[in-house]
Structure 1
């Protein structure tokens, strides 16, 4: 079928070169029109931030990209959110780079920096850390210096021994007033304490029918380091006690053994009427079990007879507990 030719009247109205535009096929004109519409729609969607993509099932979906709003136009968050942000103001980097002890100091002493607060809010309240139960202080370590720790030496009325823990058990009954025996006992006791090094410990136990251990005021220690402060306080305690009352050796000895010292110096005038019974002697020996050396010093009047030595319960006590025994005539002590 041939295309219809335009008539002469129509040809005379338009230029020759423009005439083919009016006689294009309809399908070509329709295609051009749809292309124009498609391009226009595409431009509109591009301006509104719409893109096209595929979901997991392969369907074509529209993806809208929302631009971030201006931070200055953000509405204020609720009070709860503000408080939560304030509490979390320390970043992970700050926590990682700050030593634990400095974190505590910062919380207690330094206000949090404003730059780290995510949103404005009320001032942060002071942080109070819960306190643990009071911790009892440990016994102080002995000062450095002096003799090597553990094996310092002292002596009591010429009886020498080495150790870290010493107990002096001194009879202060009324009979110790005779020939000024208590005076010599106190002088020698102070001298022995003065020889102790700060690395050693000691205790003084006076006794008659009662027991009088030395205790520092406000302290519950049973045995004390031989530092200069404790020595001065011990000298005062030595001077305060005078001779009075009767005699009971066993409670004082048992108290000293419970301190588990390495050495006990035991001084008494050893009246035979107050001797330690065989039953109490066995109890003392069993309780000690060789842990502590007991050195016994006996005050007497005049030279000691051989029979008295054999009958002396002090010599027996020393022998059975790894110590030594010595007899001293108090009348000769003034010549020392």
Structure 2
């Protein structure tokens, strides 16, 4: 998410904070950033879990999002499996990393886990081409899990991005 001048991460963070600001205290959420290890938003001393959208928690979540920087390699599988362990209704999975691809066996395992929990997985891919790659595993991930796939050309974000 640090490629292309960091535009993918800045765009994701901006949209995520907008989404956080729209939550009520009757909604639950979780944020998992990842590179080679998933880093969930959590309260010290508490297990990783879905969080309640109360004002104080949302303020902490916003600070957490603001603090994130992109570095390191990419491990999609562990982040998705961590998210699925919380049995969410929906996952919005954002990445600019097509490599490493999730293998067909990893996709199948994720599909089984999502079906057990009734979770829909939407995938949003950031790239620097005018159109999405036809062989994106993210398209397959969304299709297999009743979600939608969206491609974002980060070059189109340039004029809308803050410094």
Query: Deviations for 1:308-332, whole angstroms, at most 9, x for unmatched residues?
Result: 23x1111111011011000001111
Task: Give distance in 2, aligned partners of 1:289 and 1:275.
Answer: 21
| Higher RCO (C-alpha under 8 Å, 6+ residues apart) | 2
Quick check: 2:74–2:97 contact (8 Å CA) kept in 1?
no
- Quote the residue 2:139 is aligned against: 315
Tell me if 1:327 matches 2:151: yes
Report the alpha carbon displacement of residue 203 of structure 1 after superposing the two structures with TM.
Answer: 0.5
TM-score, normalized by length of structure 1? 0.45
Q: Quote the residue 1:283 is aligned against.
A: 109
**Rg: which structure is higher?**
1
| Matched residue SS, 1:231 | helix
CA distance in 1, matches of 2:144, 2:39: 26
RMSD: 1.5
8 Å contact kept, 1:179–1:330: no
Report what 1:82 is aligned to: none
The alpha-carbon deviation at position 230 of structure 1 amounts to 0.4
Whether the aligned pair in 2 keeps the contact of 1:179 and 1:331 (CA below 8 Å) is no
Q: Quote the offset at 1:221 in angstroms.
A: 5.2
Distance 1:217 1:294 in 2: 28
Aligned with 2:51 (options 224, 235, 258): 224
Pick the aligned partner of 1:246 from 66, 73, 85. 73
Flag as ranges the 4+ runs of structure 1 deviating above 4 A.
none
Say if 2:8 is the partner of 1:178: no
Q: Give the count of matched residue pairs.
A: 158
* Preserved contact between residue 4 and residue 128 of structure 2 (Cα < 8 Å): no
Q: CA deviation at 1:218?
A: 3.8
1:75-224 alignment, distance < 5 Å: 175-180=1-6, 181-220=8-47, 222-224=49-51
Gaps of 5+ in 2: none
Does structure 1 residue 267 correspond to structure 2 residue 94?
yes
* TM-score scaled by length of structure 2: 0.91
Alpha carbons of structure 1 residues 221 and 280: separation in structure 2 relative to 1, 3 Å: closer
Distance 1:312 1:212 in 2: 24
